[in-house]
């Protein structure tokens, strides 16, 4: 009996410790990140309409921006990210979806789709994401910087437009994530509308 007790008690102790460790793993105390999405506000229909189909390529991104984390630039060149916050998808896909939705609402083309939709488009818009970050410069309120460059490609004729560039800066009204995200949406809205206007001009130059 003494031998059984000596063997039984250490085994029970090991099982108890193991059970506690498993419980800790399953009951993680790490908070889930807040996920944010942005979408364009309603805009009027385009003054000029084209019978062509336009595809929007997945944008390329500057180093540090090809992520679903919300970027912050401090002290000029210190790239950081807001803690506990994410975009719904990586920033390039945020831009692609936003531009597609805005151009669709303007009804300036027969159809506007993301390039991966496998539609036989007449034109392809290639976008580079240069800026998509909050910047703190001698202030506690961030300024949101959005810069897009793009080329409009005539797929059939294999011709490309001159470089298009659209940018916007919007100051957040408060140093809270909700206000920062609203400023991101406003800045991207302004840049996308500017890009849309330049696309219309470029389209007019094609025969």
CATH of the domain at 100: 3.40.50.10610
CB 110 within 8 A of CB 53: yes
Reported as a single tens digit per residue, the pLDDT across 102-140 is 999 999 999 999 998 777 899 999 999 999 999 998 788
Q: Is residue 25 predicted with pLDDT exceeding 50? A: no
* 161 inside domain: yes
pLDDT level of residue 13 (50, 70, 90 thresholds):
very low
CB 149 within 8 A of CB 162: no
Mean pLDDT of 78-88: 95
Mean pLDDT of the chain: 86
**Structural domain total, the chain:** 1
CB 186 within 8 A of CB 169: no
The domain in which residue 132 lies consists of 34-205
pTM score of the predicted model: 0.83
* 125 inside domain: yes
Spatial distance between the Cα atoms of 91 and 170, rounded to a whole number of angstroms = 18
pLDDT above 70 covers a percentage of the chain that reads: 85
Residue 151: its pLDDT value, please? 96
* 3 inside domain: no
Residue 22: its pLDDT value, please? 34
Q: Is residue 31 predicted with pLDDT exceeding 80? A: no
* 167 inside domain: yes
* 6 inside domain: no
């Amino acid at each position: 009996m003494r031998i059984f007790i000596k063997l039984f008690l250490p085994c029970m102790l090991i099982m108890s410790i193991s059970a506690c460790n498993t419980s800790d793993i399953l009951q993680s105390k790490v908070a889930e990140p807040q996920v944010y999405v942005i979408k364009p506000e309603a805009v009027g229909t385009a003054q000029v309409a084209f019978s062509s189909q336009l595809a929007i390529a997945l944008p390329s991104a500057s180093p540090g921006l090809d992520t679903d984390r919300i970027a912050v630039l401090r002290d000029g060149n210190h790239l950081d990210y807001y803690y506990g916050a994410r975009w719904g998808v990586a920033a390039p896909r945020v831009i692609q979806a936003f531009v597609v939705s805005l151009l669709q609402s303007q009804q300036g083309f027969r159809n506007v789709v993301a390039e991966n939709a496998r539609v036989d488009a007449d034109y392809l818009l290639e976008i580079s994401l240069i800026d998509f970050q909050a910047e703190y410069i001698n202030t506690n309120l961030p300024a949101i910087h959005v810069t897009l460059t793009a080329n409009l490609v005539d797929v059939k004729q294999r011709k490309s437009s001159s470089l298009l560039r659209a940018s916007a800066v919007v100051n957040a009204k408060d140093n809270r994530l909700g206000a920062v995200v609203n400023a991101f949406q406003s800045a991207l809205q302004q840049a996308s509308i500017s890009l849309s206007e330049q696309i219309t001009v470029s389209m007019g130059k094609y025969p």
